[in-house]
């Protein structure tokens, strides 16, 4: 039985390795000098170099874009949590009229296609003077992150035993006190995974970032990556190095939050 489990483990790892091949290839490309890029018959470059990383760090918009992305994704996550936690609590616990319909509309709006709203939103941002600012991206990303966030968090909050909250009320806590000091700590794994999903969605968001930004003042990483190819050449090595840098922060955050996430992602949302 144990030998069989071992075989399964190896099979799963192999499958994951196949899945990650493009990523490994990107890592390889990022360390390969331009002259060797077309020699794809070698597994590793003959003379590895960090020249692409230096080029990206010194002569590209990537450092600025990484800063913009970090700021936009962090702000989006914070604003979405600040708005989403009370909303989720209300849906889970308070006698909101038409709650079932409201929840259905929230689930349905997670399906909303960005492309259908991008042109009116663009006009709106221009009228508000928010083009090429973090604020525009944070507002747009938050509005698209909120439905899923509220839906997930409401699922987690519903699992908290109501008796715990009743005990807090009996001790004189108000609604906000119960939410902040009792409910949020109890659903911390759920909050962590919902926050992570929001952060990653904002980090990877391309359409809004591409439309609403105009200069490096607010360009985020996906946009900067998309704008790398020049008119006469595509700097494959630089693009590879830049995209490796772009995937590091999410990986670091996921690894850092792992202990929390294992609880959060498994339980929740669908429990009755």
Question: Binding residues for another protein, per CB under 8 A?
Answer: 104, 107-108, 110-119, 204, 206-207, 211, 222, 225-226, 269-270
Q: Which is nearer to another protein, 23 or 169 (CB)?
A: 23
Which DSSP string corresponds to the chain? -HHHHHHHHHHHHHHHHHHTHHHHHHHHHHTS-GGGTT-TT-SS-SS---HHHHHHHHHSSHHHHHHHHHHHHHHHHHHHHHHHHHHHHHHHHS--TTHHHHHHHHHHHTT--THHHHHHHHHHHHHTT-TTSHHHHHHHHHHHHHHHHHHHHHHHHHTS-HHHHHHHHHTT--HHHHIIIIIHHHTHHHHHHHHHHHHHHHHH--HHHHHH--STTT--HHHHHHT-S-SS---HHHHHHHHHHHHHHHHHHHHHHHHHHHHHHHSSTT--
Q: Which is nearer to another protein, 3 or 123 (CB)?
A: 123
* Least Å from the CB of residue 48 to another protein: 27
- The CA distance from 179 to 184, in Å, is 6
Q: Which is nearer to another protein, 168 or 267 (CB)?
A: 267
Specify whether the CB–CB gap between 183 and 157 falls below 8 A.
yes
* Least Å from the CB of residue 220 to another protein: 12
Q: Which is nearer to another protein, 24 or 112 (CB)?
A: 112
Q: Which is nearer to another protein, 74 or 114 (CB)?
A: 114
Q: Which is nearer to another protein, 84 or 183 (CB)?
A: 84
* Least Å from the CB of residue 248 to another protein: 19
Q: Which is nearer to another protein, 206 or 260 (CB)?
A: 206
CB atoms within 10 A of CB 141: 26
* Least Å from the CB of residue 121 to another protein: 11
């Amino acid at each position: 039985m144990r030998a069989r489990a071992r075989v399964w483990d190896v099979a799963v790892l192999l499958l994951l390795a196949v899945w990650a091949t493009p990523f490994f290839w990107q890592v390889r490309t990022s360390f390969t000098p331009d002259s060797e890029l077309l020699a794809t018959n070698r597994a590793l470059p003959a003379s590895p170099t960090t020249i692409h990383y230096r080029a990206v760090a010194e002569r590209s918009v990537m450092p600025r874009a990484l800063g913009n992305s970090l700021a936009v994704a962090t702000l989006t996550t914070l604003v979405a949590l600040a708005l989403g936690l009370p909303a989720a609590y209300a849906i889970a616990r308070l006698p909101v009229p038409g709650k079932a319909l409201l929840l259905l509309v929230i689930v349905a709006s997670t399906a909303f296609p960005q492309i259908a709203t991008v042109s009116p939103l663009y006009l709106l941002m221009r009228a508000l003077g928010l083009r090429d600012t973090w604020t525009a991206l944070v507002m747009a990303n938050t509005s698209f992150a909120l439905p899923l966030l509220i839906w997930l968090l409401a699922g987690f909050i519903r699992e908290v035993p109501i008796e715990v909250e009743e005990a807090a009320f009996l001790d004189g806590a108000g609604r906000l006190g119960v939410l902040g000091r009792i409910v949020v700590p109890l659903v911390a794994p759920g909050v962590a995974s919902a926050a992570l999903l929001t952060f990653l969605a904002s980090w990877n968001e391309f359409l809004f970032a591409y439309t609403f930004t105009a200069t490096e003042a607010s360009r985020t990483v996906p946009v900067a990556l998309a704008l790398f190819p020049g008119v006469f050449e595509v700097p494959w090595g630089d693009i590879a190095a830049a995209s490796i840098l772009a995937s590091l922060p999410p990986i670091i955050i996921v690894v850092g939050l792992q202990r929390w996430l294992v609880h959060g992602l498994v339980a929740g949302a669908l429990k009755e």
